[in-house]
Amino acid sequence: MQQKESPASRHVRINALDGSGSFNAYLAVPASGSGPGLVLAQEIFGVNATMREVADYYAEEGYVVLVPDLFWRQQPDVELGYTPADWERAFGFYKGFDEALGVQDIQACLNALRQRPEVTDGKAGVLGFCLGGKLAYLAACRTDADAVVGYYGVGIEAALDEAERIRCPLTLHVAELDAFCPPEARQRIVQALGGRPGVAVHVYPGVDHAFARKGGDHFHRASALMAHERSIATLKSAIGPHFDLAALWDKHCEYEFATRNVDDTMATMVAEPYVNHIPTMTGGVGFSNLHAFYTNHFVNSNPPDTSLTPISRTVGASQVVDEMLFCFTHTTEIPWMLPGVRPTGRRVEIPLLAVVKFRGDKLYHEHIYWDQASVLVQVGLLDPALLPVAGVETARKLLDETLPSNELLKR
């Protein structure tokens, strides 16, 4: 399965540390042209399209990613899919794989990354999946990696005697239903590594091996998203990159609500972003759809007196969560919040929550939440006397916790 290389990606040669030759590695560089280094250790299917897509994904996060061909001593440039025949071939390569030499090849890639001009501060980590997940664990024990993340590594329980040699932050993601890591093996890993300083072992309930492989039979989006958030937190805390996410979000909001410039707003986002206003399911997925939505239904559709009052803000490794009051007078139609509702001239004050995810220094998505029933009460479309809903009181109690509680219970 072939995939065209982007202008920011290409193949490079890496010299083996034992002098036995050199091997190919896929290199993906962030749009900024520089960042911390990251070695991506493959699954048993070689450096296939899936691994290159993961590399490009982490380049978007700001890393200079190198994906070594770990099967090169058996057969160079293995690229397999996921058919039964490919699985059989993949297990053949896995059985013939020399683990110790694989870890040496990862060290060679760490060395090569640190020598590249694109890599900042000489920092480099390791990220691995499946076979690569086991190698990632071993890299934490045997290499000079600055941070390591491993997904559903196979056979880690057989190398727990090396745990005393772990020398960098390590995060492991374990699937509860993984037949390659049965309950007794999982328990040994958790007992041996849990509680060690700098080591985190996360078990994902109800999911199977390869739960983070998008498009795979066992892909579980919620678990994959949570695991990615934890992975990025581990990597950023140890090697970066460090972006002022709060300032980037503030600039995005300035373009949306102050200068009201769609192109400037889109420029703060990744190439294919998405926005989802949860209560009304308005927004857009992908650049063209979201640009059209912003142009026709959002940026120029908010009333002139619209204001956002910050209440609290939480900044994580890759996202910002803002709690705010969203206030306006309903003098214009607001398609994204009140689609099809003609202006009522009524005042609306509503608590609003924004969960804003970033990739690198660009917004990837926005999940926006508010109580639609409270909005409808305030514009006169719901009668609070007939339903268990509240109007402007929800906003006022957010600012003053001494206001009465449980008023609806008295009905």
Q: What is the pLDDT of residues 152-163, one digit of tens each?
A: 999 999 999 999
Task: For 280, list phi and psi in degrees, rounded to 5.
Answer: -110, -5
Select from 103, 114, 184 the least CA-distant residue to 150: 103
**What is the per-residue pLDDT across 50-90, written as a single tens digit (0 to 9) for each?**
999 999 999 999 999 999 999 999 999 999 999 999 999 99
- Structure tokens belonging to residue 205: 């309930």
H or E segment and range at residue 265 = helix 262-267
Mean pLDDT of 231-237: 97
H or E segment and range at residue 184 = helix 183-193
Alpha helices, DSSP H, located in 120-182: 131-142
Mean pLDDT of 318-338: 98
Q: What is the distance between the alpha carbons of residues 29 and 145, in angstroms, rounded to a whole number?
A: 19
DSSP letter string, 190-255: HHHHTT-TTEEEEEETT--TTTTSTTSTT--HHHHHHHHHHHHHHHHHHH-----HHHHHHHHHII
Domain 10-239 classification at class level: alpha beta
Alpha helices, DSSP H, located in 271-409: 287-293, 372-378, 393-399
| pLDDT, position 265 | 98
pLDDT level of residue 328 (50, 70, 90 thresholds): very high
Task: For 87, list phi and psi in degrees, rounded to 5.
Answer: -60, -45
| pLDDT, position 7 | 47
**N residues, the chain:** 411
Say which residue the tokens 């560089």 belong to: 29
Cα dihedral sign, 326-307-273-244: negative
**What is the per-residue pLDDT across 126-185, written as a single tens digit (0 to 9) for each?**
999 999 999 999 999 999 999 999 999 999 999 999 999 999 999 999 999 999 999 999
| pLDDT, position 4 | 45
| Ordered strands of the 347-359 beta sheet | 282-285, 269-277, 362-370, 347-359, 319-329, 307-315
| Ordered strands of the 9-15 beta sheet | 9-15, 22-28, 64-68, 35-41, 119-129, 148-151, 170-175, 199-204
Going from the C-alpha of 321 to that of each of 136, 283, 289, the distances in angstroms are 31, 18, 24
Q: Are 106 and 143 in contact (CB under 8 A)?
A: yes
6 has a pLDDT exceeding 70: no
Q: Is the peptide bond before 343 cis (omega within 30 degrees of 0)?
A: no
pLDDT level of residue 410 (50, 70, 90 thresholds): confident
Mean pLDDT of 297-309: 96
pLDDT level of residue 411 (50, 70, 90 thresholds): confident
| pLDDT, position 96 | 96
**What is the per-residue pLDDT across 341-362, written as a single tens digit (0 to 9) for each?**
999 999 999 999 999 999 999 9
Helices and strands in the chain: count of H runs, count of E runs: 11, 14
CATH, range 245-399 = 3.10.450.50
**What is the per-residue pLDDT across 240-276, written as a single tens digit (0 to 9) for each?**
999 999 999 999 999 999 999 999 999 999 999 999 9
- Structure tokens belonging to residue 5: 């290389």
The domain limits of the chain are 10-239, 245-399
| pLDDT, position 176 | 98
Going from the C-alpha of 224 to that of each of 203, 205, 256, 411, the distances in angstroms are 12, 12, 30, 43
Cα dihedral sign, 201-203-209-213: negative
Q: Work out the number of other CB atoms within 10 angstroms of the CB of residue 336.
A: 18
Q: What is the distance between the alpha carbons of residues 248 and 242, in angstroms, rounded to a whole number?
A: 12
- Structure tokens belonging to residue 396: 């006022």
Task: For 202, list phi and psi in degrees, rounded to 5.
Answer: -110, 125
| pLDDT, position 126 | 98
Strand partners, 129: 151
Mean pLDDT of 325-348: 98
Q: Are 245 and 315 in contact (CB under 8 A)?
A: yes
The residues annotated as belonging to the active site are 178, 209
Q: What is the distance between the alpha carbons of residues 260 and 184, in angstroms, rounded to a whole number?
A: 57
| pLDDT, position 195 | 86
Q: Which of 4-18, 96-110, 224-238 has the lowest mean pLDDT?
A: 4-18
Q: Are 102 and 55 in contact (CB under 8 A)?
A: no
Residue type, 360: G
